[in-house]
Chain A
Amino acid sequence: MMTFDELQTHLPLSETTFFILLSLAPAPNHGYAIAKDVQVLSGGRVVLSVSTLYTTLKRLLEDGWIERSGTDPEPDETGRPRKTYALAELGRRILDAETARLQTLVAAARLRAVGGEA
Chain B
Amino acid sequence: MSALRRLTNGYALLIRLYPADFRAEFGAEMAAVFAATLHKSHRAGLVPLAATCLRELIDFPANLLREHASSLRKEFFVETRQLLLDPRRASFFGGLGFGLGFALLILFRTLLNPTNATLLTDFGASLARETLLFVLVGVLGGALIGFSSGSAGLIRRLALAGGLGCGLAGGLGTISLYLLYASAAKNAPDQFLSPWLNSSAVGMMTIAIGGLTGTVMGSVLRRGKRTAYLALAGGLGFGAAHIASQLTSNILYNLWMRTPFYQLWMIPLGLAAAITGLVGGAALGWAMGQQKEYGMNAPEKSF
**A residues neighboring B (CB under 8 Å):** 31-32, 35, 47, 49-55, 57-59, 76-78, 80, 82-83
Contacts and interface: CB of A to CB of B under 8 A. Distances in A.
B294 to A, nearest CB: 30
Pick the most buried of B25, B28, B36, B67: most chain A CB atoms within 10 A of its CB: B36
Interface stretch (B53-61, B207-215, B220-228): B53-61
Consensus secondary structure, chain A interface: helix
B37 A35 contact: yes
Given A58-B22, A58-B25, A51 B36 contact: no
B59 A51 contact: yes
Given A35-B37, A55-B66, A80-B28, 4 more contacts: A50-B30, A50-B33, A55-B63, A83-B29
B33 A35 contact: yes
A43 B25 CA distance: 30
A32 to B, nearest CB: 5
Contacts of A80: 28, 32
B34 interface: yes
Contact of B37 (A32, A54, A59, A83): A32
A77 B39 CA distance: 10
B30 A51 contact: yes
Contacts of A53: 33
B104 interface: no
B35 interface: yes
A50 B64 contact: no
A16 to B, nearest CB: 11
Contact of B64 (A32, A51, A83): A51
B67 A50 contact: no
Nearest to A59: B70
Contact of A49 (B28, B36, B55): B55
Nearest to B22: A58
B6 to A, nearest CB: 17
Contacts of B59: 49, 51-52
Contact of B56 (A49, A55, A77): A49
B26 interface: yes
Interface in B52-84: 55-56, 58-60, 63-64, 66-67, 70
Q: Which 9 A-B pairs have the closest CB atoms?
A: A49-B59, A51-B63, A55-B63, A54-B26, A76-B32, A32-B33, A50-B34, A49-B55, A31-B33
A81 to B, nearest CB: 10
Contact of B32 (A55, A57, A77): A77
Contacts of B67: 55, 58
Given A54-B30, A55-B63, A55-B66, A77 B55 contact: no
B35 A77 contact: yes
Contacts of A55: 63, 66-67
A52 B34 CA distance: 12
25 contacts: A31-B33, A32-B32, A32-B37, A49-B58, A50-B11, A50-B33, A51-B30, A51-B59, A51-B60, A51-B64, A52-B59, A54-B26, A54-B29, A55-B63, A55-B66, A55-B67, A58-B22, A58-B26, A58-B67, A76-B32, A77-B32, A77-B35, A80-B32, A82-B29, A83-B29
